[in-house]
Amino acid sequence: MCFPANRIFFASRCAGFLAVAALSCLFPSLGFASGIPLPAEAPVEIHGCWQQLDDGRLLEISKDSADFFHHSQLVTYKATPASGLPLAESYSSYELKNAGATLLLWRDDYGDKFDGFYHEEFRRIDHLPESVVLEPETDARFSDPKFVFDLVCEQFDVHFPHFERRQFDWESRKRKFRQQLTDEMSLAQLDELLCQMLKGLGDSHTRIYSEGRDRPFKSGEAKIVGYFDSAFAQQTEFAERGDFVRAWAKQMKSSAEALAEDRSLKTAANGRFRWGVFQGNVGYIELETITGFHPSGLKRPEEIEFLGSELDRMLFELKDCRAIIFDLSFNGGGYDPASWVIASRFADRRRHVLSFNAAQRNTPSRKCFVGPAGEIQFTKPVYVLTTNGTVSSGEILVMMLKAFPHVTHVGETTRGCLSSFLNKWMPNGLHITLSNETYAAPDGSVYEGVGISPEIEFPVFSEESLFDSYPAALKKALQLAMNGE
């Protein structure tokens, strides 16, 4: 998982702004594929104040400046690092709807891909709150431990909808840890208190960053992280844990090559895909991350085009295979437009793949669809292999693929962390992220907190046999593919 600087102040998955909105969705009311291109000076018709519907941020637009504000019941304050630039520096196009009451803003121009739905939606408001803080760095409240604690808790009250699903008693946790606050508490002590309060939540997208912390606190990790700790402690060959993990990963990668017809695999899309043909004319595709598909770091629309061409080239060479094993065992996520493009190459027809909504949004969930795209679709049997390490956009891709009848999900249950990040920054250096969205399968099933269970279950990463379980899982998937099970 990565955390690029350009995600500041916006809900995002590990590599993009409001990535969930990039899915193909059925919204016939949209008049433009990706809105009207934004000129250097913002058009008069969109000047004024707006509120983002998914995360509650406020936006004030003038001719040559766009200012963002974090908004809550406790305080509204300017997001200073993200403010002051022309709107066209952050967004590429716009559309006004509902007689000027609704503003759609696109960050990237994908043309008519994804039905033009890669946008953020704002509603017009009369003005900013009178108590808005324009210089939050000088506001003494952000040095008050009780104020900051309550502000953090409010973000979870409003935006985190998964406490019950994760069996986490949030109300009692808040009461317990608020009683431990003192007026003299330092930011570092408050940071530690917040981490203790959120410990056990099990959400990989809930994190705390602070100026005094080398690495972020994460409330959830893949099970294999614990397996590594246990296995490393029991061995004597490696002095450093990182060296041990790298050696394990290298050995796991070689186990796939051992099953290939020529004992080697090819790569595509900047090495993000490893692929080839296993014994028995079964295709194999491994995808470890859903981002960074081009070595030159193209903008998202150009990268999406490149990804599509690489997929077409790869699947053309695999088109005569009897089946494909799609290995997402190591997949740590990425951004959803790429998941959509990948899934489209396995689509038999346009299908409803999932629905989603944000906790704060008081509107019906948005239905998302994926259909055939590109030069080739592989609609023979596909076996999607997952583990508890399959997370975020990797799980979104699993949900999309499972909508197609020729796809069988095998291996282990995924992590259960599908929502995008919602980021909240404070001027005292504290930064929190949380999962504010709920995704549902076409049948209404929600996998946040529980993961997506396979139709055919078998161990892939086993604590008892860490070095042997993944090679055995690949052989099991190959057997299923060869037998047509």
CATH code for the domain of 294: 3.90.226.10
Shared-domain flag, residues 42 and 181: no
DSSP assignment string, 434-480: EE-EEEE-TT--B-TTT-PPPSEE--SS-STTTTTHHHHHHHHHHHH
pLDDT at residue 204, rounded to an integer: 94
Residue 49 pLDDT greater than 90, yes or no: yes
- Which domain range does residue 201 map to? 137-218
| Least confident residue range of 131-140, 199-208, 295-304 | 295-304
pLDDT level of residue 111 (50, 70, 90 thresholds): low
Confidence label for 383 from pLDDT (cuts 50, 70 and 90): very high
Cβ distance 390 to 414 under 8 Å?
Answer: yes
Are residue 342 and residue 474 in the same domain, yes or no? yes
Number of domains within the chain: 3
| 128 plus 233 within the same structural domain | no
Mean per-residue pLDDT over the chain, rounded: 89
Q: Are 400 and 312 contained in the same domain?
A: yes
The DSSP result for 62-99, as a single string, is -SS-EEEEEE-SS-EEE-GGG-SB-GGGT-SEEEEEGG
Q: What is the pLDDT of residues 124-149, one digit of tens each?
A: 999 999 999 999 999 999 999 999 99
Q: 8: closest CA among 92, 76, 68?
A: 68
Same domain for 129 and 144, yes or no, is no
pLDDT in tens, 220-270: 888 888 898 888 898 889 999 999 999 999 999 999 999 999 889 999 999
Provide the percentage of residues in the chain whose pLDDT is more than 90: 72
Domain membership of residue 6 (yes or no) is: no
The answer on 203 and 307 residing in a single domain is no
Residue 3 within any structural domain of the chain: no
pLDDT score at 94: 93
User: Does one domain contain both 230 and 81?
Assistant: no
State which of 159, 188, 218 marks the end of a domain: 218
Token duo for residue 295: 């070595």
Backbone angles phi, psi at 137, to 5 degrees: -65, -20
* CA dist 151 → 69, 70, 154, 359 (Å): 15, 11, 5, 17
If asked whether residues 96 and 228 sit together in one domain, one would say no
pLDDT at 318 over 90: yes
What's the CA gap between 194 and 153, in Å, rounded?
9
Residues 298 and 407 in one domain: yes
Identify whether residues 101 and 163 lie together within a single domain.
no
Domain annotation covers residue 301: yes
pLDDT at 112: 64
- Rounded to 5 degrees, φ, ψ at 203 are -105, 115
Same domain for 38 and 167, yes or no, is no
Question: Of the candidates 135, 167, 195, which is a domain's last residue?
Answer: 135
Domain assignment of residue 4, yes or no: no
What is the CA 214 to chain-centroid distance, rounded?
Answer: 23
**321-372: per-residue pLDDT in tens?**
999 999 999 999 999 899 999 999 999 999 999 998 888 777 778 888 999 9
Q: Are 351 and 408 in contact (CB under 8 A)?
A: no
The reported pLDDT for the residue numbered 485 is 76
pLDDT of residue 359: 87
- 227 shares its domain with 211: no
